[in-house]
Amino acid sequence: MKILANDGIDPVGKKMLEDAGFTVDTQNIPQDHLASRLNEYDALTVRSATKVRKELLDACPNIKLIGRGGVGMDNIDVDYARSKGIAVINTPAASSLSVAELVFAHLFSGVRFLEQANRDMPVKGDTAFNDLKKNYAKGIELRGKTLGVLGFGRIGREAAKMAIGLGMNVLAFDIFDFNSEVELVFADEQKMKFKVSSVSKEYILKNADFITLHVPAVDGKPVIGADEFAMMKKGAAIVNCARGGVIDEAALINALDSGHLAFAGLDVFDNEPTPSKAILSHAKISLSPHIGASTNEAQERIGVELAQRMIEELSKA
């Protein structure tokens, strides 16, 4: 069987598939050429770049499996694919730690003004050093503050564990029932269990100092808009490393400009790959280009998990 890894796959995962007897092609086929080429393959793996919509699936009846290296499958018409007997799998566990670490990179950037300081220092650092020092001298610590986690799946749980390790209080909400106990594993393999507070979304909005989002947009509508920003504490902050569209970006800018919110951290955006200039140029937003899962360690875990699941599924075919 031939597999097209159109958005690439970690070498470890590729070798696992080849050792299992599969041919793996990592040459990228542009989106507009996929319909004419995909029938050369039995299975397809993608990340977020390649879109697998109904029209492509109808044009490629040979495909038996689609593997998504990552968590979200917004770029795949999953239900339609499965209705045609195509297996669709993802790697929900592999990137959780990397995304959670990026959440805290944005939080640290915001509380110590690193986003703006890194813009100012190259321009003014040699002429207005003391002024910059004064401007950015009122940072705050995360320890003792309250983190609200909206969406308590794998990534939300990893974020909660990091917060606990930093001495933060954690509030958690999910639309599904969840286990409020998390286990921290330390470098010497010692383990400790903690319970987080399970509360309502509204309680988090009103009481959290920082909010991290790990939810999909609901029916294409933002989860956090003007009404939700108004409920948040003055001086609070929000981080979105989940999905573009979860936050109403215009309402976010208004909340930042009014001083109601202290800062935001965004790894995902509306209209990717062309986010709004207003968002990209805002002094109170810490930015990264959708790299939550993009660490060497996560990519290897994704490749391994994807290969394992594909071998299992394709062995049934």
- Residues recognised as catalytic: 243, 272, 290
Cα separation, 307 vs 17, in Å, equals: 6
Cβ–Cβ under 8 Å, residues 264 and 252: yes
Please classify residue 55 by burial: count the beta carbons closer than 10 Å to its beta carbon, then call 0-12 exposed, 13-18 middle and 19+ buried: exposed
Question: Sign of the C-alpha dihedral, residues 29, 35, 40, 45?
Answer: positive
Question: Sign of the C-alpha dihedral, residues 17, 23, 28, 34?
Answer: negative
Cα separation, 82 vs 204, in Å, equals: 37
**Helix residue ranges, H only, 84-200:** 96-111, 114-124, 129-135, 154-165
Cα separation, 170 vs 187, in Å, equals: 22
Q: At 36, is the secondary structure helix, strand, or coil?
A: helix
In angstroms, what CA-CA distances link 14 with 28, 43, 171? 15, 13, 40
Tokens of 20: 């299992």
Nearest partner of 172 among 213, 140, 128, judged by Cα: 213
Residue 266's H or E segment, with its range, is strand 261-266
